[in-house]
Structure 1
Amino acid sequence: MPQKADDRRSFLHIRALMATTSEGLIAVGPDGDVRVFNETAEELLGVPRSRVHGKLYTSLKQPKVEAAVERLLRPKARKEPIAVRLTLGDRVIAATVAPYDCSGRRAAVVTLRDDTALEAYRKRAEAILASTGDGLIVFDPEEAITYINPAATMLAGLKPSKLLGKRTPLWEMLSMMPEDSFSPAIDGSQVREVRIEEPEHRIMDVRTDPVLDDKGGYLGYVATLHDVTAEREVGQMKNEFVSTVSHELRTPLTSIKGYIDLILDGEAGEINEIQREFLSIVKQNSDRLVELINDMLDISRIESGRIHLKIQPLDMCDLIAGAVDTFQAVSDQSGHKLLPKAPHDLPKAAGDRDRVGQVLMNFISNAIKYSPEGGSVTVKAKQEGDMVVVAITDQGIGIAKEDQAKLFTKFYRVDSSLTREIGGTGLGLSICKSIIELLGGKVGVKSSAGKGSTFWFSLPVASKDLVRTPDVEGPAAAGGTVLVVDRDPEIANLVETYLVKQGYDVVKAHNATEALEKAIEVRPRVITLDVMLDDGDGFDLLQKLKDTPETSEIPVLVLSIVCDEGRSCRLGAADYLEKPIDKARLTTIIDDLVGSVASPVVLVVDDDRNIVDLLCRNLKAKGYSVAAAYNGAEAMAALRKKHPDLILLDLQMPVMDGYQVIEKVKTDPATKDIPIVVMTAHQIDRSRIDILGLAQQKVDKPFSAEELARRVESLLENMLEES
């Protein structure tokens, strides 16, 4: 009797509390009888209290709730609450059945909540998510998938039934490489381009965003899949169209520009002042047209990721001096003063010489154009931390602050009478920005209206690994024969005229078959090659030239309207020049190539970088081409790239020592005839004296660099006499 009195008091207390709550509450005693059934429960279930109170819980007539109560009332049942959802007409009721202790016996409490509005909101949200064209995948903090919308199923071929609730990393789901995986919890929003082939080829931008609660707690992340296949295809078509149109314009422009230059240079006889004036106008406008075409092609290459950059150490003092020299005549004519200011101890920058020169020329050209007559243009360079910064300052019209942020965007031009008078496409600065950023630098401007402007760009300081191989400049060219291969006879004649004036003999060929025959027969010092030939692909001819023993060592300069510098270099081209042909650039490259052929190549191999640097400088000063390696493995790699005339070799080196190098060089038919001069400061290993005997000479350290250079010179002269 006391036990039952306690139970009754307990339930009376609970019933008083339950009557005040907004949720429906049902208490079921240890014997299964319904002891509490509040008014909200009556209203939600539509059952009068008198029909269930004091009766077994089965009188609720709700099978899901009854099953949950039955399970929890079992003596050894688990204590976790059980959630069920009830659909009663238009209503959705969320029910939770939880166990509680009733005087040492197990009882149950059922809470009921009206989720009708919440369910309607959920369905509306699901409908919205299902109707979007972008795929959505929701992950919890453990990277288990909690939601996949139909678009994600369609775009990526995902099967929700196999993925929901399972821990599946996004990179694995989209067949990405693990190193491309996302870390949204750490890194915030990220975007990757992903290509998939199943169920069909698609290109998607995949964006991940972390989901946070109101206190910043991490709840997981959402991945958005945006199909950009059509956009990429349209972009590719646009780039191909721009490239095709530009290339078609380049061919006639090459002839127009080239022959105008020849006439102005007096190659067709004397011209009077009126003729010179008219021709100068034609030249000026043809140059503008070439500049426009080049800008269009550069934008196309940058957008498609096809721009080719050759990173090398750059002496910015030399680049600035060259740019100032180029503009000197223009500045003298307009009354401008060009003032270069760069310290002689400025470290080398890492960049592409031609592209950085393009940026520098663009900035200086703009500074002259927008400065008043008699004004000065200052070109400064300095080191700031691990960057080399170049700044061009003018005394021009200046730029309003609201225009500065837009200056480096495509097609943007400051709206003023002076800019309209000067003209331009609005592409130059955008191209400059893209080039410098691809090289790891930044661009910027400091200006105020009416007070001039300073345009600047920065480049990383060249690393020691990049600087370690000294620049090689062979002796001045001494003429020789150049084979000019071009399907267009007019352009071939133009190139011939340029080169004959420079002191070269020229042989011409207009197709691949003729070119290969003449290359074998004439053995020219250099070959210029147009890759658009009538009887075959010029790249195939380049491959044949490099595979044919008689022509494999002849440098090939590719001249083409087709921009594929990367492919040209991979196939062995010595250099690349786009049409229309710049006469000064053409002759400079030809002179360098002829000079490099005439200059013997010495490979210096030593693990002491100071010795390598010393020897390279001395040999370069003597007119030799030099290459450097710092252990035996690097030496063998260098041999595969370029066949030297002589090797200076240290014996004691890491990775692969000098004895091993000698053995490999002398047992390889391709390198066995290369003379080797051994440099050593150690006792020679007598057990390997036979290998050492394969070397031509031995020099003991320490030695004089000048003495060693004389020894090299003597050895190479003897080789030439013997041959």
Structure 2
Amino acid sequence: MKIKTKLNLGIGFLFTLIILLAFLSIKQINSLSTASENILKDNKETIGYTKNMLKALSEIEEDEEALNTFEENLLKQKSNITEIGEKELTENLSENFYLLKQNQSDEVVMANLHSSLFEIMSINLNAIELKNTIAGNIAKKSILLISALSLFCFVIALMLFLKLPGNISNPIQQLIVSIQQIADNDYSQRVNFEGHNELGELAVSFNSMASKLEEYNKSSAAKLLTEKKITETLLNKIHYPIIGFDTTMKVNLVNDEFLAVSGLSNDELIGSDILEVASDNDVIRQIIIYGSGNKFIPSKNDPNTRIHLEMNGKDIYFEKEIQEISLAYQNNTREHLMGYVVVLKNVTKYMELNLAKTNFIATVSHELKTPVSAIKLSLQLLENEKTGTLNQDQYELIKSCEEDADSLLKIISELLNLAQVETGKIQLNIIPVNLEDILRYAINNSKSVANQKNIVFEIDLPSDLPKVIADKEKTAWIITNIISNAIRYSGDNSNIVISASKMKNKVKLSIRDFGRGIESQYINRVFDRYFTVPGTNKEGSGLGLTISKEFIEAQGGEIYVESELGVGSTFSIVLNCKDYLS
């Protein structure tokens, strides 16, 4: 049966039931209305006539018109006889009234009249009660009939609601699943739902299409195998280690260079789960695993791009690059992720050159530090009056030389610290220390420069500030460097606000200046090596904040900056406090 025919029959049948329900409801309501009218009309009028006649009888001695009133209501009663026995009582009432007209003082006639009137009233009251009972029964039957029909309509509607959508949607859902499977290259999928409706015809067409696709896929298998061999040959000619795996983490591509580096065979890798292999192989673990939770980082967001291996007693360094492989099928603009390819580039030569550069900088800096310190000492001796009196020009020249010597010593110190950072040989002595003592030391070192610009320090430290877990010497160097920068970029007669607060198991130290601030596009670069904010015209090596960041993070802390152009900058340092040890 066609889907359209099913829908027409189902909806038509339900519509017919609704019309039938409406017809029966109207009919039953009309019956109730008729019964109610019968109760209220005839019997009520008769009771009214009898009441009027009883009243006339009671006034017959006082009112001459009472007989006329009785006669008028008697005539009306004769034309309104509706109940069994009412006619005989009315005739009897008429005969007694005739006798009363002849002798108004006849008490026997008067008693007969009262008796007849009360009997007539009783018959009509009983009739009202009976009709009321009949109307109630009709109402109950109507409610029962309408309820039964409504229940039947509800059952039919519920069956249509439960069955009809499923009969239409289930085959469509099955068809959607099969189409998705074919989109994923599973051409063995078929849909199996019987029927001579539109969906049955669609299933036949779909299965025919799937069969042709499967035949086409099988016919091109030999061509694909040939292309795969060509691809494998090209990969083996590349001198970079390469490995590929699909979205289910199954290895499906590897070249000879990678096999040599990993120490595994082709059979051990191809078809294996790369996460399982990584658990036993250090090379693959470094390629795909980040952290201790077996978390795969298949993108440029991988923070660990450098791999260090030891092969034949020699350190080898690789830079890894993970590429996502996505394909868009014909007539489909949306790309589907197929897998990943990891390329390892040997950067050992560059690492050795960089290490040589770092060692050279460290050696030269160390060698320069001694003579520069000697020059500074000599300048201080020249300032002493015991060596002779200096004129103003000579004094200014010596001061200028001292400033240059201080700048040289600062640069040399930064280069030595940078060498520690680059070689990974940062020496830390992390102990519980008093942050206030470190801060006082840094402020005292910077006070003379601050006084030259008439800069005032505003310090806000809580009295119960806990000790921090840090390297005292390096933390003092970091804070001194940040305060020096704040002084350098602040105007004359300004303030520098230094505050601290406790945050759970950490302590936050903030140093705020009211200088020019930093443009938003440069905020994320202030910690980069050799970077200085353009347009500041301030001297500096661009290494201080880089080294500060490395030192703070080596201590398990954090450093960041918040700045707004024209308002100022706030550098914040977060260190673990003594409570962190527990």
TM bin (shorter chain): 0.5 to 0.7
**2: CA distance, partners of 1:18 / 1:378:** 75
Aligned to 2:240: 134
Aligned to 1:151: 257
**1: CA distance, partners of 2:243 / 2:518:** 47
Q: CA deviation at 1:365?
A: 1.0
Aligned to 1:448: 564
Q: CA deviation at 1:263?
A: 3.1
Equivalent position amino acid for 1:232 in 2: M
The 8 Å contact of residues 156 and 199 in structure 1, kept in 2 or not, is answered as no
Alignment pair present for 1:233 and 2:339 = no
Equivalent position amino acid for 2:466 in 1: P
Which one of 80, 102, 113 corresponds to residue 219 of structure 2? 113
The 8 Å contact of residues 135 and 150 in structure 1, kept in 2 or not, is answered as yes
The 8 Å contact of residues 316 and 381 in structure 1, kept in 2 or not, is answered as no
Aligned to 2:550: 434
The 8 Å contact of residues 509 and 573 in structure 2, kept in 1 or not, is answered as yes
Q: How does 1:179-198 map to 2 (within 5 A)?
A: 186-189=295-298, 191=304, 193-198=307-312
Equivalent position amino acid for 1:402 in 2: Q
Equivalent position amino acid for 1:400 in 2: E
Equivalent position amino acid for 1:453 in 2: S
Aligned to 2:316: 202
User: Structure 1 stretches (4+) deviating beyond 6 angstroms?
Assistant: 16-19, 140-144, 175-178, 207-221
Which one of 454, 459, 479 corresponds to residue 335 of structure 1? 454
Which one of 263, 279, 297 corresponds to residue 398 of structure 2? 279
Q: CA deviation at 1:397?
A: 1.3
**2: CA distance, partners of 1:310 / 1:205:** 32
Alignment pair present for 1:347 and 2:488 = no
Alignment pair present for 1:392 and 2:511 = yes
Q: How does 1:483-632 map to 2 (within 5 A)?
A: none
Q: CA deviation at 1:242?
A: 1.0
Q: Which runs of 5+ in 2 are unaligned?
A: 1-203, 329-333
Q: CA deviation at 1:409?
A: 0.9
Residues 156 and 338 from structure 1, CA distance in 2 versus in 1: closer, same or farther, beyond 3 angstroms? same
**1: CA distance, partners of 2:551 / 2:253:** 42
1:397 is paired with a residue whose SS is coil
**2: CA distance, partners of 1:174 / 1:341:** 50
Which one of 310, 325, 340 corresponds to residue 429 of structure 2? 310
2:464 is paired with a residue whose SS is coil
Aligned to 1:402: 521
The 8 Å contact of residues 442 and 477 in structure 2, kept in 1 or not, is answered as no
Aligned to 2:365: 246
Which one of 536, 541, 553 corresponds to residue 425 of structure 1? 541
**2: CA distance, partners of 1:427 / 1:157:** 41
Q: CA deviation at 1:287?
A: 0.8
Structure 1 window deviating more from structure 2 (255-264 vs 372-381): it is 255-264
2:406 is paired with a residue whose SS is helix
2:476 is paired with a residue whose SS is helix
Q: CA deviation at 1:138?
A: 3.9
Aligned to 1:366: 485
**2: CA distance, partners of 1:344 / 1:217:** 60
The 8 Å contact of residues 184 and 210 in structure 1, kept in 2 or not, is answered as no
1:405 is paired with a residue whose SS is helix
Report how many residues are paired.
365
Residues 208 and 262 from structure 1, CA distance in 2 versus in 1: closer, same or farther, beyond 3 angstroms? same
Aligned to 2:416: 297
1:172 is paired with a residue whose SS is coil
Aligned to 1:37: none
**1: CA distance, partners of 2:272 / 2:567:** 64
Residues 393 and 162 from structure 1, CA distance in 2 versus in 1: closer, same or farther, beyond 3 angstroms? closer
Higher relative contact order (CA 8 A, sep 6+): 2
**2: CA distance, partners of 1:222 / 1:161:** 18
Q: CA deviation at 1:323?
A: 2.0
The 8 Å contact of residues 323 and 357 in structure 1, kept in 2 or not, is answered as yes
Q: CA deviation at 1:461?
A: 1.4
The 8 Å contact of residues 308 and 315 in structure 2, kept in 1 or not, is answered as no
Equivalent position amino acid for 2:547 in 1: I
Which one of 378, 381, 389 corresponds to residue 262 of structure 1? 381
Larger Cα Rg: Structure 1 or Structure 2?
Answer: 2
Task: Give a deviation string over 1:394-435, Cα, whole Å, max 9, x none.
Answer: 12112111121211111111121xx32x31111111111221
Q: Which has the higher helix share?
A: 2
Q: TM-score, normalised on structure 2?
A: 0.54
**1: CA distance, partners of 2:253 / 2:313:** 20
Q: CA deviation at 1:158?
A: 4.1
Equivalent position amino acid for 1:260 in 2: L
**2: CA distance, partners of 1:443 / 1:18:** 62
What percent identity do the matched residue pairs reach?
A: 26
Task: Give a deviation string over 1:264-284, Cα, whole Å, max 9, x none.
Answer: 345635544433222111111
Aligned to 1:172: 280
2:441 is paired with a residue whose SS is helix
Q: Which has the higher strand share?
A: 1
1:415 is paired with a residue whose SS is coil
The 8 Å contact of residues 204 and 229 in structure 1, kept in 2 or not, is answered as yes
Structure 1 window deviating more from structure 2 (399-408 vs 114-123): it is 114-123
Q: Which runs of 5+ in 1 are unaligned?
A: 1-15, 26-39, 42-92, 95-111, 467-723
The 8 Å contact of residues 23 and 113 in structure 1, kept in 2 or not, is answered as no
Q: CA deviation at 1:311?
A: 0.7
Q: CA deviation at 1:376?
A: 0.8
Q: TM-score, normalised on structure 1?
A: 0.44
Task: Give a deviation string over 1:189-212, Cα, whole Å, max 9, x none.
Answer: 453633131497523346778999
Residues 462 and 262 from structure 1, CA distance in 2 versus in 1: closer, same or farther, beyond 3 angstroms? farther
Alignment pair present for 1:460 and 2:576 = yes
Equivalent position amino acid for 1:293 in 2: I
The 8 Å contact of residues 319 and 347 in structure 2, kept in 1 or not, is answered as yes
Q: CA deviation at 1:229?
A: 1.4
The 8 Å contact of residues 458 and 496 in structure 2, kept in 1 or not, is answered as yes
Residues 328 and 278 from structure 1, CA distance in 2 versus in 1: closer, same or farther, beyond 3 angstroms? same
Task: Give a deviation string over 1:70-91, Cα, whole Å, max 9, x none.
Answer: xxxxxxxxxxxxxxxxxxxxxx
CA RMSD of aligned residues (A): 4.0
**2: CA distance, partners of 1:397 / 1:381:** 23
Residues 398 and 162 from structure 1, CA distance in 2 versus in 1: closer, same or farther, beyond 3 angstroms? closer
The 8 Å contact of residues 407 and 429 in structure 1, kept in 2 or not, is answered as yes
Residues 327 and 254 from structure 1, CA distance in 2 versus in 1: closer, same or farther, beyond 3 angstroms? closer
**1: CA distance, partners of 2:205 / 2:311:** 62
